Amino acid sequence: MLRKTLTEDSFYLNLGPQHPSTHGVLHLLLKLDGERILECKPLVGYSHRAHEHMGQNRTYLQFLPNTSRMDYLGGLCYNHAYCLAVEKACGIQAPERARYIRTICAELNRISSHLLWFGAYLMDLGAFTPFLYAFDDREDILAILGEITGSRLTYSYCRFGGVSRDLNQNFRDGVKAFIPKLRKRLKDYRTLVTKNVIFLNRTKGIGVVSPEQARDWALTGPNLRACGVAYDIRRAEPYSVYPEMEFEIPTATGGDCYDRYWVRMAEMEQSLRIVEQALGRLPDGPVKTAGVPQWLEPPAGDYHFSYESPRGHLGIYFVSDGGRVPLRMKWRTPSFNNLSILSEILPGTLVADTIAILGSIDVVIPEIDR
Amino acid sequence: MSFLEDIRPVLAQRFGSENLSDQERARCGYDLRLALDQERLLELAGLLKEAVCYLEYITAVDQGQVLDLLYFFGRHDQPPFRLQVRVAMPKGVAVPSLANLIRAADWQEREVYDMFGQRFAGHPDLRRILLPDDADFHPLLRDFKPGPQHGGEVVNLERK
Could you tell me the pTM of the whole model?
Answer: 0.89
Q: What is the mean pLDDT of residues B22-42?
A: 87
Mutation target among A51, A58, A87, A216 for the B interface, most CBs of B within 10 A: A216
Give the pLDDT score at A4: 55
A165, A167, A170, A174 alpha-carbon torsion, rounded to 10°: 120
Q: What is the mean pLDDT of residues A274-291?
A: 89
Among residues 31-50 of chain B, which lie with CB inside 8 Å of chain A? Answer: none
Is the pLDDT confidence value at B159 over 70? Answer: no
The whole-angstrom separation of Cα B81 and Cα A276 is 31
Helix (H, G, I), strand (E, B) or coil at A63: helix
Contact assignment for A58 to B157 by CB distance below 8 Å: yes
Peptide bond into B79 cis (omega under 30): yes
Is the pLDDT confidence value at A18 over 80? Answer: no
Contact assignment for B140 to A56 by CB distance below 8 Å: yes
- Helices A75-90 and A96-124 pack at an angle, to 10 degrees, of 150
Count Cβ–Cβ pairs < 8 Å, chain A vs chain B: 105
Residues in a beta bridge with A320: A301
Give the pLDDT score at A13: 85
Please write the tens of the pLDDT for every residue from A246-265: 999 999 988 899 999 999 99
Residues in a beta bridge with A334: none
DSSP A211-267: HHHHHHTT--THHHHTTT----HHHHS--TTGGG--------SS-SHHHHHHHHHHH
Please write the tens of the pLDDT for every residue from A63-97: 999 998 888 888 899 999 999 999 999 889 899 99
Please write the tens of the pLDDT for every residue from A285-323: 898 888 888 888 899 999 999 999 999 999 999 999 888
Contact assignment for B52 to A215 by CB distance below 8 Å: yes
A106, A111, A113, A116 alpha-carbon torsion, rounded to 10°: -160
DSSP B63-78: -SSEEEEEEEEE-S-S
Contact assignment for A217 to B57 by CB distance below 8 Å: no
Is the pLDDT confidence value at A1 over 60? Answer: no
Is the pLDDT confidence value at A185 over 80? Answer: yes
Contact assignment for A57 to B82 by CB distance below 8 Å: no
Is the pLDDT confidence value at B89 over 50? Answer: yes
Comparison of pLDDT for B88 and A11, the residue scoring more? B88
pLDDT band at B27; cut points 50, 70, 90: confident
Please write the tens of the pLDDT for every residue from B64-86: 889 999 999 998 888 888 999 99
Q: Does B61 touch chain A (CB under 8 A)?
A: yes
SS3 content of chain A, % helix, strand, coil (to 5): 50, 15, 35
Express as a percent the part of chain A with pLDDT over 70.
97
The whole-angstrom separation of Cα A136 and Cα A75 is 20
